[in-house]
């Protein structure tokens, strides 16, 4: 019986359900208000604010050294890159040139962070679409990176290793060896990832053609990172506005033009290979030198507005500082990648099934504290 046609005798009306804030597929406290007709999604409305901690307001209270540790708590999966963004903004404003050693170490740890974030994403995304094994394998490989961080930075997740002017302390003597071990180990693991999940027919059927985002829409929604690159929009900040030691390395920007969930998935797998190649190019020749340069105990930025953007694991993170010449910023704004990427969820999910919503949301790779701040 055809219930969808207009001349059907059966009446149907829209049904409204909540997805979250404690749904396992929302990876945090994101609440989605779904308007559905049967199994077909008619509208998705994200409801934010469950984990809002007013980080931007707290930044106005803190000194420039103290701001850095707050950014750990935004996108906690790429905390080192967030720290780097704030430090680069402050250093640019002070016209401070950090030593080459600092730049190289920042880039290596940043790429390690990206791999760790993608490992976790790969694991939980597999779990979202029903492959539980990927969860354990993703965490197994991420554990090695976490050990590197713990040995060098002292913490596994909220590292706070960057300070304006350099790094808090020099790298641990074991850092180079451990990183090389990890690169060798992980090179054998990405093919396993492909064998286990990418080539699986069930997985491909769930991802192919689901949540299609065109290039034009990606640009107009302000998408960035792997989400935009899965739609063929070349926007890698590392390529176009390179920072730290990224101008010394050669790497390809991962691009796919299909725009569906599988394309976004493949972009991230490709990015892991590219990050490995960046680390390999830098790890053997970390220049000697100081790990920081002295700054004033109280940093005062000159009057003006300063902006710096970096590429986190999720996309473009921008830091905007309006300074009035005091030791605190007058206003500090973060342009977070997750917020723009979430805004297009309604666009790509409408017309699909609820199961497809989970798949397309998993490939957006949302981190809710990054969106709410």
Closer of 170 and 217 to other proteins (Cβ): 170
Per CB under 8 A, 163 contacts other proteins? yes
Interface with other proteins in residues 23-62 (CB under 8 A): 62
Query: Containing H/E element for 305?
Result: strand 304-311
Per CB under 8 A, 216 contacts other proteins? no
Stretch of 111-119, 133-141, 252-260, 302-310 contacting other proteins, by CB under 8 A: 133-141
Strands 31-37 and 40-47: what pairing?
antiparallel
Stretch of 108-116, 158-166, 226-234, 350-358 contacting other proteins, by CB under 8 A: 158-166
Residues 6+ apart with CB under 8 A from 31: 18, 19, 20, 21, 46, 47, 50
* 300 close to 310: Cβ distance less than 8 angstroms: no
Per CB under 8 A, 71 contacts other proteins? no
Stretch of 67-75, 91-99, 101-109, 303-311 contacting other proteins, by CB under 8 A: 67-75
Q: Which of 43, 69, 248, 291 binds other proteins (CB under 8 A)?
A: 69
Minimum CB–partner distance for residue 44 and other proteins (Å): 31
Per CB under 8 A, 154 contacts other proteins? yes
Tell how far CA 188 is from the center of its chain: 24
Minimum CB–partner distance for residue 52 and other proteins (Å): 18
Q: How far apart are CA 346 and CA 266, in angstroms?
A: 22
Structure-block tokens of residue 226:
């792997």
Alpha carbons within 13 A on the beta-carbon side of 118: 28
Q: Which of 82, 152, 231, 336 binds other proteins (CB under 8 A)?
A: 152
Per CB under 8 A, 282 contacts other proteins? no
**Residue that has been written with the tokens 């750990």 in this structure:** 72
Minimum CB–partner distance for residue 196 and other proteins (Å): 5
* 1-7, long-range: CB < 8 A, 24+ apart: 3/38
Q: Is 16 helix (H, G, I), strand (E, B) or coil?
A: strand
* 21 close to 49: Cβ distance less than 8 angstroms: no
Residues in contact with other proteins by CB under 8 A are: 62, 65-66, 68-70, 133, 137, 140, 143, 147, 150-155, 158, 160, 163, 168-169, 172, 192, 195-197, 199-202, 297
């Amino acid at each position: 019986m055809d219930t969808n046609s207009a001349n059907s005798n059966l009446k149907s009306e829209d049904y409204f359900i909540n997805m979250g804030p404690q749904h396992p597929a929302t990876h945090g406290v994101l609440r989605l208000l779904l308007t559905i007709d049967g199994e077909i999604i008619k509208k998705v409305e994200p409801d934010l604010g469950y984990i809002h901690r007013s980080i931007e307001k707290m930044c106005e209270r803190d000194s420039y050294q103290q701001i850095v540790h707050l950014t750990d708590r935004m996108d906690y999966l790429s905390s080192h890159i967030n720290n780097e963004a704030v430090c680069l903004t402050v250093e640019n404003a002070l016209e401070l040139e950090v030593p080459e050693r600092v730049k190289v170490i920042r880039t290596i740890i940043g790429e390690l962070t990206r791999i760790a974030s993608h490992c976790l994403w790969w694991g939980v995304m597999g779990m979202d679409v029903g492959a539980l094994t990927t969860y354990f394998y993703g965490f197994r490989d991420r554990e090695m990176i976490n050990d590197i961080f713990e040995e060098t930075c002292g913490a596994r997740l909220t590292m706070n290793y960057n300070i304006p002017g350099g790094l808090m302390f020099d790298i641990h003597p074991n850092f180079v060896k451990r990183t090389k071990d990890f690169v060798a180990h992980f090179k054998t693991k990405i093919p396993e990832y492909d064998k286990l999940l990418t080539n699986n027919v069930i997985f491909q059927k769930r991802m192919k053609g689901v949540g299609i985002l065109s290039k034009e829409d990606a640009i107009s929604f302000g998408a960035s990172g792997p989400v935009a690159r899965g739609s063929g929009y070349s926007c890698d900040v590392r390529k176009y506005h390179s920072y730290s030691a990224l101008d010394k390395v050669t790497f390809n920007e991962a691009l796919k033009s299909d725009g569906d969930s599988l394309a976004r998935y493949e972009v991230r797998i490709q990015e892991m290979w590219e990050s490995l190649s960046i680390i390999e190019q830098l790890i053997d020749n970390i220049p000697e030198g100081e790990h920081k340069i002295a700054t004033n105990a109280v940093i005062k930025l000159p009057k003006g507005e300063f902006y710096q953007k970096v590429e986190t694991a999720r996309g473009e993170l921008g830091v905007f500082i309006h300074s009035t010449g005091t030791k605190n910023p007058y206003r500090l704004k973060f342009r977070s990648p997750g917020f723009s990427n979430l805004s297009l969820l309604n666009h790509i999910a409408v017309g699909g099934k609820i199961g497809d919503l989970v798949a397309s949301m998993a490939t957006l790779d949302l981190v809710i504290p990054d969106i709410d701040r």
